[in-house]
Chain A
């Protein structure tokens, strides 16, 4: 019963959402594309000058951009793979039956509930080179031979931030995987036990294949988040080149350097990168998993 009136009502109801989409995504994005072809500062102190693709050409040889890209890739690979492994382990633990399971599930929601800025500050305090509890405990327990300035040493600062991100985001991963685990029918395991399969064999032949769809979805979500990471990096080490990711570098160019033209070109590059990732991911992993 598709009446003219219903179609008109549907359009009317969707219209506000579409308007908002145009206002906060479409129009700003068009501006970003447009200004990426100009040499312009964000306050228009100088009149903007059309330069074509010069900003993009510069981007290809900009060592700071390359470093930011590399930092983003390192952050994404390490953070996502660590939290996947840890999340899977935690999901498996919570999935099994034991007293106080609900309590544990509640406990792991806490890091997720804490704002990223707050968790960054908390860890900054815990990682403090002199008064941080990690240094004090580490030395006392003999894990560290001496106190370490985790956030000041160039080779340690990115790993430290990755550890903080893993702490904050693993619960989300664990919950998604737990939901996936709960969809696997119990009978499969019973049948496998009767056939004499060990726990390990059951994990590889039942759990992992059936968990793949949930795993793929969770991986896509987390990787997208990691590729655009800003908060935890910016709060914990600012615009330090050793940790500066694409998003941090992008904001620095746009706001601190007031460079609207080049900053917009970086924004477009990030958008393209994320778009390519979504397409590639869907193609390789997504297709088989989503069938």
Chain B
């Protein structure tokens, strides 16, 4: 009787596990197989749960007819630019805030924290005006600058934690050897924060890669438009015909690199996410 009960519990538990996995993965799986099905199979009343029959037409369509290649390139430039800039500025700022004792340190930290909670929508109008005045409307630089609103404070906040965690002796030894603070940062501290840089950089990149509101509002046409607004506005030949196969193909193309990155850096991302959130 007891063993039966235990076996039942065990079975129930694994059913729960299976449910969690299916719930998490199925929508993406469905997008992937939809992107490989020819249109008539896509609109079948009894859909196949495997991508059969199989076609690459939607992918060809996305890259040949739509300007999707251009959008992808824009996304790489904008997300990459915002990430690099955030890392460079963030390392300098975080080193000062984490290691150098200077009076208004806490005030600056609070300012950074306040920025991480800032609603993007509240500055939309102001940023719109600013970018237009500065001639940065519909430019990569304009988007990169506006993305610093959320990537930079996050980067600084998480990196301050990393810098604080390093032992004081390292720095002191360097000073004794006659190194300047800047040399200490570049030669000693920076190599040690390598993992932190990779994690924060990756999280900043993902945030910028996925951003929609600013990209939608500050760009016009395909010259600068990044992938999220492009996918959101994918149209068919007529307003009544939504090209679901192509939308799914585009979705898979932008998501697969992210999923791969996330799977590779899984442990670090979880650590980074929780560090950022728990300390924040």
User: Is B167 an interface position by the 8 A CB rule?
Assistant: no
Smallest CB separation, A19 vs chain B (Å): 9
When the two chains form their complex, are residues A231 and B20 in contact, meaning their CB atoms are under 8 A apart?
Answer: no
Per-residue interface assignment for chain B, residues 218 to 241, with 1 indicating a CB less than 8 Å from any chain A CB and 0 otherwise = 000000000111011000000000
When the two chains form their complex, are residues A116 and B210 in contact, meaning their CB atoms are under 8 A apart?
Answer: yes
Task: State in angstroms the CA–CA spacing of A30 and B122 once bound together.
Answer: 11
User: Is B55 an interface position by the 8 A CB rule?
Assistant: no
Instruction: Evaluate whether A122 and B30 lie within 8 angstroms (CB atoms) in the complex, with A171-B24, A179-B270 already known.
Output: yes
Task: State in angstroms the CA–CA spacing of A275 and B25 once bound together.
Answer: 36
Task: State in angstroms the CA–CA spacing of A32 and B101 once bound together.
Answer: 35
When the two chains form their complex, are residues B21 and A13 in contact, meaning their CB atoms are under 8 A apart?
Answer: no
Smallest CB separation, A72 vs chain B (Å): 11
Our pick among B28, B47, B97, B102 for the contact of A114 (Cβ within 8 Å) is B28
Our pick among A106, A125, A234 for the contact of B247 (Cβ within 8 Å) is A125
Most A CB within 10 A of own CB, among B182, B229, B277? B277
Task: State in angstroms the CA–CA spacing of A30 and B123 once bound together.
Answer: 9
Q: Which of B122-175 contact A (CB under 8 A)?
A: 122-130, 145-146, 148-149, 152-153, 156
Our pick among B28, B130, B181, B213 for the contact of A28 (Cβ within 8 Å) is B130
Q: Nearest chain-A residue to B229 (Cβ)? A: A117
Smallest CB separation, B220 vs chain A (Å): 11
When the two chains form their complex, are residues B102 and A108 in contact, meaning their CB atoms are under 8 A apart?
Answer: no
Instruction: Evaluate whether A113 and B262 lie within 8 angstroms (CB atoms) in the complex, with A16-B93, A179-B278 already known.
Output: yes
Our pick among B13, B148, B206 for the contact of A24 (Cβ within 8 Å) is B148
Q: Nearest chain-A residue to B209 (Cβ)? A: A115
Smallest CB separation, A176 vs chain B (Å): 6
CB contacts (< 8 Å) of A7 on chain B: these are 100, 102-103
Our pick among A6, A31, A231 for the contact of B129 (Cβ within 8 Å) is A31
When the two chains form their complex, are residues B277 and A117 in contact, meaning their CB atoms are under 8 A apart?
Answer: no
Task: State in angstroms the CA–CA spacing of A118 and B228 once bound together.
Answer: 7
Stretch of A185-193, A200-208, A266-274 lying at the B interface: A266-274
Instruction: Evaluate whether A172 and B89 lie within 8 angstroms (CB atoms) in the complex, with A126-B30, A221-B280, A267-B123 already known.
Output: no
Smallest CB separation, A211 vs chain B (Å): 12
Task: State in angstroms the CA–CA spacing of A106 and B156 once bound together.
Answer: 27
When the two chains form their complex, are residues A24 and B146 in contact, meaning their CB atoms are under 8 A apart?
Answer: yes
Our pick among A2, A5, A106, A117 for the contact of B228 (Cβ within 8 Å) is A117
Task: State in angstroms the CA–CA spacing of A6 and B23 once bound together.
Answer: 53
When the two chains form their complex, are residues A278 and B17 in contact, meaning their CB atoms are under 8 A apart?
Answer: no
Our pick among B101, B152, B255 for the contact of A6 (Cβ within 8 Å) is B101
When the two chains form their complex, are residues B45 and A136 in contact, meaning their CB atoms are under 8 A apart?
Answer: yes
Q: Which of B20-43 contact A (CB under 8 A)?
A: 20-21, 23-25, 27-28, 30-31, 34, 42-43
When the two chains form their complex, are residues A107 and B258 in contact, meaning their CB atoms are under 8 A apart?
Answer: no
CB contacts (< 8 Å) of A30 on chain B: these are 126
When the two chains form their complex, are residues B126 and A28 in contact, meaning their CB atoms are under 8 A apart?
Answer: yes
Per-residue interface assignment for chain A, residues 121 to 142, with 1 indicating a CB less than 8 Å from any chain B CB and 0 otherwise = 1110110101101001000000
Per-residue interface assignment for chain B, residues 179 to 222, with 1 indicating a CB less than 8 Å from any chain A CB and 0 otherwise = 00110000000000000000000000010011011000100000
User: Is B7 an interface position by the 8 A CB rule?
Assistant: no
Smallest CB separation, B81 vs chain A (Å): 13
Q: Nearest chain-A residue to B185 (Cβ)? A: A13
Instruction: Evaluate whether A23 and B102 lie within 8 angstroms (CB atoms) in the complex, with A17-B156, A267-B124 already known.
Output: no
CB contacts (< 8 Å) of A230 on chain B: these are 120-121, 212-213
When the two chains form their complex, are residues B89 and A17 in contact, meaning their CB atoms are under 8 A apart?
Answer: yes
Smallest CB separation, B209 vs chain A (Å): 7
Our pick among A17, A171, A221 for the contact of B92 (Cβ within 8 Å) is A17
When the two chains form their complex, are residues A17 and B127 in contact, meaning their CB atoms are under 8 A apart?
Answer: no
Task: State in angstroms the CA–CA spacing of A264 and B126 once bound together.
Answer: 8
Our pick among A5, A106, A133, A175 for the contact of B30 (Cβ within 8 Å) is A133
Stretch of A57-65, A76-84, A150-158, A246-254 lying at the B interface: A246-254
Q: Which of A44-77 contact B (CB under 8 A)?
A: none
Our pick among A18, A107, A131, A176 for the contact of B273 (Cβ within 8 Å) is A176
When the two chains form their complex, are residues A106 and B263 in contact, meaning their CB atoms are under 8 A apart?
Answer: yes
When the two chains form their complex, are residues B103 and A29 in contact, meaning their CB atoms are under 8 A apart?
Answer: no
User: Is A9 an interface position by the 8 A CB rule?
Assistant: yes
User: Is B50 an interface position by the 8 A CB rule?
Assistant: no
Our pick among B31, B47, B96 for the contact of A13 (Cβ within 8 Å) is B96
Task: State in angstroms the CA–CA spacing of A224 and B115 once bound together.
Answer: 13
When the two chains form their complex, are residues B119 and A104 in contact, meaning their CB atoms are under 8 A apart?
Answer: no
Could you list some 10 contacts between A and B, CB below 8 A? A14-B92, A32-B125, A116-B212, A121-B232, A121-B248, A122-B27, A230-B213, A255-B217, A267-B121, A267-B124
Pairs A-B, 3 closest by C-beta atoms: A28-B126, A31-B126, A17-B93
Interface residues of B (CB under 8 A from A): 13-14, 16-17, 20-21, 23-25, 27-28, 30-31, 34, 42-47, 89-90, 92-93, 95-97, 100-103, 108, 111-112, 115, 117-130, 145-146, 148-149, 152-153, 156, 181-182, 206, 209-210, 212-213, 217, 227-229, 231-232, 244, 247-248, 251, 254-255, 258-259, 261-263, 266, 269-270, 273-274, 277-278, 280
- Contacts A29-B126, A105-B270 known; 18 new A-B pairs at CB < 8 A: A6-B100, A21-B112, A24-B145, A42-B128, A104-B17, A109-B263, A110-B259, A113-B259, A125-B31, A125-B248, A130-B43, A179-B270, A221-B277, A235-B212, A235-B232, A260-B129, A267-B122, A270-B119
